[in-house]
Structure formats: structure tokens, C-alpha cells
Amino acid sequence: MLVKFLVGIVKKIRFSCLPYAETTGGGFPGWGVTVPGPWRTYNQTYVDAYTPYVKMIGGQIAKAQITKGGPVVMLQVENELVKGVPGVEWPQKGYMQDLIDKFRAAGVVVPTANNEAWPAGWHAPGSGVGAMDIYAHNGYPNGFNCKQLYNWSATGLPTWWHSDHVRISPSTPYAILEVCGLVCFLYMI
């Protein structure tokens, strides 16, 4: 789990079984290393493994919500869940809905979001099973070119995000939860 602080006052909780791939173990939690079958799917062995974790974390989040005087204003249920294991049907809407249901059962009432890697709209509000309260995706306007830190693309700033909002979820809030001028992993150069 990753907690993001905004000016030390408000928190968005990012629960995910893959919070950041740039961390030890590729971002995967230790509790899952012995789970057979594909992760981040509605695979029953995986569901059985994450259920106690979600129940415990969900209870902690529920106590810290803004509705109870706490700083948590939103729960990011997953991160970049847009495609994965070959042979597994995507998107995994049943898995996403199971996470939402488990957090709601633990008392979490703040809005939910999933940070899609690109604006696919799979978990947009009103899209059925696995739908979030707030639609969100990533944005890296200047890409991943670490060797040219000072060469900013003249066409790098997306002008289509508004039209994506109108196309995907026009009557609900819209967020770009992970947005950077560029991403640079210096250890990879």
C-alpha cells in the first residue's frame, strides 16, 4: 500500500497488489509470492490470498476517511490494471468489483478510482461490473526519454484529455492520478 500526502493534510490511499513496479520485488507484496495462478485476476487462489489483506487494510482506511474526521478522501483500488497475463481475459472486471465490494464491506465509503495506464475507459463510472466512482488514468506528456532531460517536445502536452473525458465519463469527475513531465529512472541509463 502506498499513501500519498498532499500538503500533509489530505491523503489519497493507493491500494494495489502492484503499487509501484520500481520497488523491491517489482512492487508485489510478500504475502503473494506463493500464490499459484495469475495475479491481479479473479483467480480463486489469488482472491483467497488478498482477502485478509484487503479486510485489514480496508478497516484501517475506513477509520481514517474524511467522513470520520480523517484525511483520506479517495481510494485508488488498483493501479494500471489494463492488461496482463496471456490467455487471461482483460479487463478483469470481476476482480476489480471484488476489490470494491471487499473495501465497501470493510466500511470504506470514500470515492474509488483505478489509475489506468492509458485512457481505455474500462472502469469508468457507469460502465457496469468493476466501475469506479472517479475515472482516472496516467499521463506522461514528455515520455520516458531520460537522456534528453531538457529537450521538451513541442507536441508533448496532450490536448486530447478533455475529449477523452467527454468520451469516457462526461458527467463524472475525471482525474489524471499519475502525471509527470517525463519519467526518468536514472539507474536504467
**Full set of structural domains in the chain with CATH:** 2-188 (3.20.20.80)
Q: Choose, from 22, 78, 80, 116, the residue flagged as catalytic.
A: 80
Q: What strand order describes the sheet that includes 134-139?
A: 2-6, 10-14, 72-79, 112-116, 134-139, 174-179
Q: What is the mean pLDDT of the chain?
A: 79
Q: Choose, from 22, 89, 116, 178, the residue flagged as catalytic.
A: 178
- Mean per-residue pLDDT, 74-95: 83
- Mean per-residue pLDDT, 157-181: 86
145-162 residue pLDDT tens: 656 666 667 776 778 889
- Distance of alpha carbon 138 from alpha carbon 1, whole angstroms: 18
Angle at 26 between CA 40 and CA 103, to 5 degrees: 40
Res 3 pLDDT > 50: no
Instruction: Please name which of 160, 29, 42 lies closest in space to residue 99, comparing C-alpha atoms.
Output: 42
Higher pLDDT, 86 or 62: 62
Q: How confident is the model at residue 98 (pLDDT cuts 50, 70, 90)?
A: very high
24-37 residue pLDDT tens: 555 667 767 788 88
- Predicted pLDDT at 11: 56
Is 80 a residue of the active site?
Answer: yes
Is 178 a residue of the active site?
Answer: yes
Total-model pTM: 0.81
Phi, then psi, of 132 in degrees rounded to 5: -90, 170
